[in-house]
Each structure stands twice: as C-alpha cells, then as structure tokens.
Amino acid sequence: MSTTVDTSFAPVTFSEGAAKELYKLRDQQEIGEDYGLRVGVEGGGCAGMNYVLGFDQKKDGDQEFLIDGIKVFMNKAHQMYLMGMMIDWQDGLNSRGFTFINPNATSTCGCGTSFSA
C-alpha cells in the first residue's frame, strides 16, 4: 500500500461545521494516526446506494487525501459517484448529523443518506 498523500486533488470537500465535528469526533474517540476518515458508497438504502463515512484504516485500492487537515481514504472506484460532493454537518432542531450534497445524485431518499446515480 502506498503512503502517498494526494493533496492537489480532493474529490470531496467539508463544510466548516463538518470539519469541526470530524476533529471533535477524532479527538473524543482517540483515533490513532494510522486511521483516516473513510468516505465511500455501498449498495443498499431506499434509493440504491448508501454513503459510507467513518474512521478506518487504509485498505488496498484506497487513495489517500488530506482535506482540511483530515486524512481521508477513498476507494478509487467510488470517486465517480462522489466527485464534487460536499459533506456538511447539521445541528438544528429538525436535523442533526452529517449531510451529503452530491452533484452526481440523480435522486435521493428523504433521510439524505441514500442516493442513486
């Protein structure tokens, strides 16, 4: 596995609120240096695909990015579904959690964690 970090091209971005929440989670959970944030997709959900977001170790086939000071792992095959996506953090009365603003999604479900492309 390569340890090269690609900082010139990031397929996703974080809102300021999402970055702050990710820093907070990383510190609270005492995430080790060999872990990064996995951003990806998996089959399932009411619209066909679910977003994957969580701290994980690097796997074969992953590319590594440094986005707003956060190490991010993404499988190369997932980039076509996630290119240009912004991850946001909502902390309001009506919703709380990470939201995904994906320009590649042709439809999304009501909960916002599932999409089709």
pTM above 0.85, yes or no: no
**For every residue of 6-65, which 3-state class applies, written as one string?**
ECCCCCEEECHHHHHHHHHHHHHCCCCCCEEEEEEEEECCCCCEEEEEEEEECCCCEEEE
Range of the domain at 55: 12-101
In tens, the pLDDT along 70-96 reads 999 999 999 988 999 999 999 877 778
Residue type, 19: A
Q: Is residue 113 part of a domain?
A: no
Q: Is residue 55 part of a domain?
A: yes
Q: What are the distances in angstroms from CA 67 to CA 6, 8, 14, 16, 94?
A: 9, 10, 8, 12, 28
- Higher-pLDDT residue of 6 and 9 is 9
User: How many structural domains are present in the chain?
Assistant: 1
Q: Is residue 37 part of a domain?
A: yes
Q: Is residue 107 part of a domain?
A: no
- In angstroms, the CA 106 to CA 47 distance is 10
Q: Is residue 4 part of a domain?
A: no
- In angstroms, the CA 82 to CA 9 distance is 13
Supply the CATH number for residue 34's domain.
2.60.300.12
Q: Is residue 112 part of a domain?
A: no
Q: In the sheet where 85-91 sits, what is the strand order? A: 12-14, 85-91, 96-101
Q: Of 110, 2, 18, give the one whose Cα is nearest residue 65.
A: 2
Q: Is residue 7 part of a domain?
A: no
Q: Is residue 114 part of a domain?
A: no
In which band, very low, low, confident or very high, does the pLDDT at 67 lie, cut at 50, 70 and 90?
very high
